[in-house]
């Protein structure tokens, strides 16, 4: 394992967090009885933003306005939510909180908070009738701050799962993770809610960290990529029943077109850490935020390399930090710590 990669046991300081980006606050609302939840990123002074949707089954709000061809330049928050399409309602609560703080686009008679959002499908875990709504979005804003964001089975990652190509009974627990890097005085960070159809891969070793198991009760990882190449048939997969969502943020100054490019190249981090990725059953969506709080700019090539790295790290951290799940219906989703000795070497 390269020295630049923290081990899964490493403390949070070695991983970093998206709140280390100047101008970004973050918070969760977790509904443990779902389990589901939402995670919010707040830019009180606004942030230039971009988005790139790669999965074929996305659930999003306010993404069209992020096109460089469209008028609005800055957003004030990003909402990442569980609950499938119902979860988009959490953004309304984020808007309410921002409105109360008088944060938003000044249109003369009011300040309109701009809150793009994306959702993941977590209805197959727990009670599908429990979903994040406006109240949960508001609560996530109340919890937001500059302290390190908790990772694992919380917020938008509460009901996440990974490794579902061969059926939900053989899957594992997903989650939400964050990571950051600072180069030449500029910080780039990511937060990723990983609910992927595919396996999560360690980019440093190529080994499977979490994913499809060989049996519903076992703790041996199947390696989905190799299994598919061997000719093993996937189960019938409900379209849109997966999705990895997240955001990258930097305190560098970016134009709107540069922010969109950063969101685009950040998907390389998902390609390094999830296999298969961007499938017909995933709605993979990444936002990019630039707060412009520092004058330094190492160049887009360096920022792109940083974005790719922190997205990969945050994805791996999401599953490394997750806890096992078991419900009364018999669904068992082990955590990484449960399968390490079952054929997973990293």
Q: For 150-197, how does the pLDDT look when each residue is reduced to its tens digit (9 = 90+)?
A: 999 999 999 999 999 999 999 999 999 999 999 999 999 999 999 999
How do residues 265-302 score in pLDDT, each as one tens digit? Answer: 999 999 999 999 998 888 899 999 999 999 989 999 99
Q: Is residue 182 part of a domain?
A: yes
Domain-embedded: residue 129: yes
133 in a structural domain: yes
Helices (H) and strands (E) in the chain, counts: 7, 18
The pTM of this model reads: 0.95
- Beta carbons of 174 and 162 less than 8 angstroms apart: yes
Model confidence at 4, pLDDT cuts 50, 70, 90, reads low
Does residue 64 lie within any of the structural domains?
A: yes
The per-residue pLDDT for range 45-71, each reduced to its tens digit, is 999 999 999 988 899 999 999 999 998
Q: For residues 125 and 133, what is the distance between their CA atoms, to the nearest angstrom?
A: 18
Helix/strand/coil (H/E/C) assignment for every residue in 32-58? CCCCEEEEEEEEEEEEEEEEEECCCCC
pLDDT confidence band for 346 (50 / 70 / 90): very low
Of 148, 150, 200, which Cα lies nearest the Cα of 174? 200
Question: Do the domain assignments include residue 259?
Answer: yes
Q: How far apart are the first and last CA of the chain?
A: 7
Alpha helical stretches, state H, the chain = 12-15, 90-100, 134-143, 224-229, 256-273, 300-320, 336-339
| Peptide bond before residue 35 is cis, with ω within 30 degrees of 0 | yes
310 confidence band (pLDDT: 50, 70, 90)? very high
What is the predicted pLDDT for the residue at 281? 87
Parent domain of 295 = 16-339
Q: How many domains does the chain have?
A: 1
Statement: residue 5 has pLDDT above 80: no
Token pair of 201 as six digits:
């891969």
Per-residue pLDDT at 126 = 94
Q: Span 84-90, mean pLDDT? A: 97
Q: Strands 245-250 and 285-290: what pairing?
A: parallel
Handedness of CA 310, 78, 277, 158 (dihedral sign): positive
Q: Do the domain assignments include residue 321?
A: yes
Q: Which two tokens stand for residue 138?
A: 């508001």
Residue 127 lies in a domain: yes
CATH of the domain at 44: 3.60.70.12
Does residue 4 belong to any structural domain of this protein?
no
The secondary structure of 311-334 as a DSSP string is: HHHHHHHHHHT---EE-TT--EE-
Which residues, in sequence order, are CB contacts of 260 under 8 Å at separation 6+? 50, 51, 52, 66, 67, 68, 288
């Amino acid at each position: 394992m390269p020295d630049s990669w923290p081990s899964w046991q490493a403390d949070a300081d070695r991983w970093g967090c998206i709140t280390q980006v100047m101008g970004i606050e973050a918070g969760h609302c977790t509904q443990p009885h779902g389990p589901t939840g939402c995670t919010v990123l707040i830019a009180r002074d606004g942030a230039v933003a971009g988005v790139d949707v790669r999965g074929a089954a996305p659930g999003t709000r306010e993404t069209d306005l992020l096109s460089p061809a469209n008028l609005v330049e800055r957003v004030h928050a990003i909402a990442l939510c569980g609950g499938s399409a119902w979860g988009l309602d959490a953004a309304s609560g984020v808007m309410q909180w921002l409105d109360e703080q008088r944060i938003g686009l000044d249109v003369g008679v009011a300040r309109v908070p701009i809150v793009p959002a994306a959702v993941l499908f977590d209805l197959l875990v727990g009670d599908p009738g429990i979903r994040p709504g406006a109240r949960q979005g508001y609560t996530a804003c109340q919890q937001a701050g500059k302290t390190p964001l908790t990772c694992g089975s919380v917020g938008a990652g509460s009901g996440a799962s990974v490794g579902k190509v061969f059926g939900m009974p053989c899957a594992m627990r997903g989650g939400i993770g964050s990571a950051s890097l600072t180069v030449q005085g500029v910080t780039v960070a990511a937060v990723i809610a990983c609910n992927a159809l595919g396996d999560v891969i360690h980019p440093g070793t190529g080994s499977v960290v979490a994913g499809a198991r060989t049996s519903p009760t076992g703790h041996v990882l199947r390696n989905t990529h190799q299994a598919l190449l061997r000719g093993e048939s996937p189960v019938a997969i409900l379209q849109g029943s997966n999705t990895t969502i997240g955001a990258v943020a930097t305190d560098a100054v970016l134009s709107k077109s540069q922010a969109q490019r950063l969101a685009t190249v950040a998907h390389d981090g998902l390609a390094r850490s999830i296999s298969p990725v961007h499938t017909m059953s995933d709605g993979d969506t990444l936002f990019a935020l630039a707060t412009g709080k520092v004058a330094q700019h190492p160049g887009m090539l360096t920022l792109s390399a940083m974005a790719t790295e922190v997205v990969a790290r945050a994805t791996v951290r999401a599953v490394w930090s997750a806890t096992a799940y078991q419900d009364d219906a018999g669904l068992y989703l082990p955590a990484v710590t449960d399968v390490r000795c079952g054929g997973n070497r990293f």
